[in-house]
Each structure stands twice: as structure tokens, then as C-alpha cells.
Amino acid sequence: MNIAEGASLASTLDKDQDWWRGAVIYQIYPRSFQDSNGDGIGDLRGIVQRLPYIASLGVDAIWISPFFTSPMKDFGYDVSDYCDIDPMFGSLADFDAVVETAHRLGIKVMIDLVLSHTSDQHLWFKESRVDRDNDKADWYVWADPKPDGSPPNNWLSIFGGSAWQWSTQREQYFLHNFLSSQPDLNFHEPAVQDALLDVARFWLHRGVDGFRLDTINFYVHDAELRDNPALPPEKRNDTIAPRVNPYNHQDHLYSKNRPENLAFLRKLRAVMDPFNAAAVGEVGDSLRGLQIIGEYTAGNDLMQMCYAFEFLSGTQPDAAQIATVMTAFDDAAAEGWACWAFSNHDVKRHPTRWNLSPAAQRLFVTMMMCLRGSVCIYQGEELGLPEADVAFDDLQDPYGIEFWPEFKGRDGCRTPMVWEPSNAHGGFSTAPRTWLPVSHEHMHMSVGQQEDDPGALVHHYRRAIAFRAAHVALIKGDHDAVTSKGDIVYFTRSHDGEDIFCAFNLSDSPSEFALPKGNWEPIGSELGGAHVSADGHLHLGPWQPCLAKRAAG
């Protein structure tokens, strides 16, 4: 597929007010995408350079992880100025070039807004911590100690230890759900909400088409600061935090997931609607993620999409689990819309996490492009990149450094993209040293090498994305009951008179199956779809799909 064809596919939803519904979104982690100035760190000009490649994949939008001014304690998720670009990534003019180039290629631009917390270097926090009487004294979550001097309650930080940090200036604790250098904003203060809505307006006026909302369910805390209840061992899991993290020992009823959050989300939606902008929220909760998605995406005045962590877990989903997740989503979020992903910048890459063969990787992306919902794919996923092995001496992620070696952190999924096999750093950078080392295992999987191989995974991703774009039922359609039978999961997607039957054999063994009654025409042969006999009998080989369209009449 050439670049023009990719741009054409990406623009199919352009005139639609619901352009986000069923969209395929490509996540860019800018530090590791393309270095344009030889300093070993990816930047915005590098994104401009590689946008034609992204367009050639046929995606509808990009999501760019944070590039705002930051001390980089958490690599941009600790913002010190929401309305400027960190110099390592370039300038506002460089960002404008990203938007202009993406739009010219038919690609929407979504940016990562981190609204729940700032850096402790943000001017708001510097003022807030001075004393208890300044103009921004209540912009963050401050609380007095208990009589014995200990923290106000038992809330824990995802990055380890108490979620409270002592300030000698105010002689109070401040809340941080992540690093102690990431103080939480106080959403009970109306001026904070107004300031954050102004941030959204700033970027919308600059041309962005939407937002990925980091930790969307963390915005509001319990005003009474009630203790979180303990979580019984049998209910603990490692979906949100690694097993070794005591964060898993609590049910986080009060430190996040508060019902007051809905009022702020409605305000944010009202800001976005005049720009036809969309948002996808990250819902981090191991117990009630789908329920929260249902609450946050219900109706037309909240968020358009959210994603939970069901398919970002360490367990490879089998047919039964996929059916269970999709059914649970329908039950919890009947009016809602999901955004599915298998990999992102926070979890081990899924070919390694699930120990997938090349055939399994192809089948999983084919299936993802057929699920009801929108889709996020993470840079390098289309190349089949496995998790990189990063030595402790090369680690940058404070999360991994804290819990090493039982949890190695997030650096293994954040190593630089590989563009050319001949370059010392895979075409990512001309610097002597890059911020994270390029994986030697990735070098033979570069874009350039795969482009020249018709059987390479990147071409299968293009075909799967194009197949989705060619069928409105797969973009916007409903589905009937998602059902599993042995190793096969199957369903029918329907929209505006088009019915697409989808079945997937999620195993290394062949399976027999029969299509539903009706006149079905096989489609998707380019994706390895199974042959359909005259009587509707199917023989599904290992990791093989069956895709069929109901014939007219």
C-alpha cells in the first residue's frame, strides 16, 4: 500500500461527526519514535518525518504521549507547563507542523493530557506549597497529619509506599498517587477545573482533534479522606500494578473512582464538542474498570471512549475470556464505547507478554480489527517487536528501579523504534548514545527490512486495517452475543444492512465449525480466512480466522 492509499483510508471518517467511532489510533511515544537532531531523544520533527509511514498503515488518528515542559521524572507525565513544549521535543512551531502534516495526510491528532496531577515544578504547586493562605493554597490535595504525625489515611501510591508526602513549608502532607514529585490536583476546587478546561481549549484552538486522558478515574478524591478498605488476597491481581506492589492490597474506593468526577467530564465534553473533538480515557482499576467505562461513556455528554486493562494483562486471552470480557462490557456499558489495545507504553509488549507465535500475532490483530469498539496500536507493534531486555544499569523508569528485579519496569516497551537495519541505532538517531539502548533483537525487524518482505507482519497490519475500513459493520456496527465454543470465539457485526460473521481459532490445533444459517460469502482471504464449504462447514486451521459477509437476498 502506498502513502496516498493509506491517507485515503484514514480520511474515510473525516466528514463524520462520529469519526472516532471505530477509528484505528496509532500511539506514538515521542522519546523513542524518531530523533531528528542527533541528541539521542525522539522529538516532534522526527514525528513529522515519519508521518508518511504512519499514513501508509491506513490508521485514522495518532495519539502522542506527553511532550509538554517537564523535569522528566516520569518522562513527561509530570507536567510543569501544560501550554508549552519541552525543549527536548522542539517548539510550538514544531507541534504545529505535526498537526499540519498529519491533517494533510488525512490523520487526526490526539494528545495525551495529564490532568490528575502536575510536576512539583509547576508554578501552581510552587505557589501552593508556600503557605496555607496564598491564591493557590487549595489547588492541590493538602491535609494535616494524624495526631501522631503519620499520614492522614492509608492511601498508597502506585509507585510504592504512602500516597502522602510531607511538606516542611506548610507542615502538611500532600497527595501523590504516583511519584512524590507528582502532586495531585484538587478537583474539589472550581478554579482548578477552570484552569484545566482552559488547557484543553488551548490545544483545541491549536488544531488537535482530541485527547487521550491519562488516569481519568483518578481526578477526584474523597473529600473526607476516608481509608481505603483492604482487599482480600483472592481478589488481588496484577492488572494495574505488579504483583509485588502493596498497592494491590487495597480496594481504592476513596483515592479514585469518585462519582463527582462525572460533573467535570461533562464540562470537558462541552469544551470539546464545538471542535468535533473526541477523548479516550484510561481507566485504571482492577475491580470495576468496565463499570467505570460504562459510567464515563454513557450518553452524549460524557467521554466518547475509554479503555480498561482487560487485554493489557499478563494472561493471554483465550476464546472464553474474550467472550466474557465482551459480554461484561455489554452488560456494564450498554451505551458506551470501548477502545481496545493489546500493548502500550506502560505494559510489556504483547508478543512477549503472551508468548505469541507469528501466526498468533496475525490472528490477534485480525480479531482486534473486528471487535466492536475503536482500536489503539502501539508503535512497533506492527513490526512484531518483542519486549526489549534492558539492563539495570540502563534503566530510566523509576517504577522499574523501585521494584527491580521482580518487576523490571516499563523501559522494555519504550526502547527506540527501528527504521533501518544498517544504522547503528536502527535509523532512530545519529547520536553516539540514545536515551534507552536500541534492542539488538529488534534490529532485524526494522521497517525498512519488513517493507521489502511481502510476508512481513507490517503488511498484515495494513491488510487488517484496510479490511476494517472497507466494512462499515466493522467500524460502527453492533454485535450479537460474543460466544466461545472450545478454542473458537465468534460473533456477527451488523450495521446499515451489512452483516459480517467473524470467527477466530485461538489455538495451535485445528477446529471444526459451522456458519450460522444463511447465505454467506467468504471474505478476507488476504487475511488468511478459512474456506467455506457449500453447506457452511468450516475447517479452521491453527490461528486461522473465518470472515464472511451475508449475501444480498
Give me the active site residues, please: 214, 282
Give the β-pairing of 483-485 and 478-479.
unpaired
Rounded CA-CA distance 392/422 in Å is 27
**Which grid cell is 483?**
460466544
Q: Judging by beta carbons within 10 Å of its beta carbon (0-12, 13-18, 19+), is residue 448 exposed, middle or buried? A: middle
Helix H or strand E encompassing 474: helix 472-476
Rounded CA-CA distance 4/234 in Å is 52
Rounded CA-CA distance 74/31 in Å is 12
Could you tell me if 29 and 62 are in contact, meaning their C-beta atoms sit under 8 angstroms apart?
Answer: no
DSSP output for 75-136 = TTSS-SEEEEE-TTT--HHHHHHHHHHHHHTT-EEEEEE--SB--TTSHHHHHHTT-SSSTT
Q: Which residues have a Cβ under 8 Å from the Cβ of 222 and sit 6 or more positions away?
A: 253, 254, 255, 258
Q: Which of 216, 351, 362 is nearest to 289 (CA)?
A: 216
Rounded CA-CA distance 286/310 in Å is 9
Rounded CA-CA distance 180/157 in Å is 9
Helix H or strand E encompassing 448: helix 447-451
CA separation, residue 301 to residues 220, 423, 468, 477 (Å): 19, 49, 28, 21
Angle formed at CA 67 by CA 62 and CA 70, multiple of 5 degrees: 160
Cell 495494513 -> residue = 462
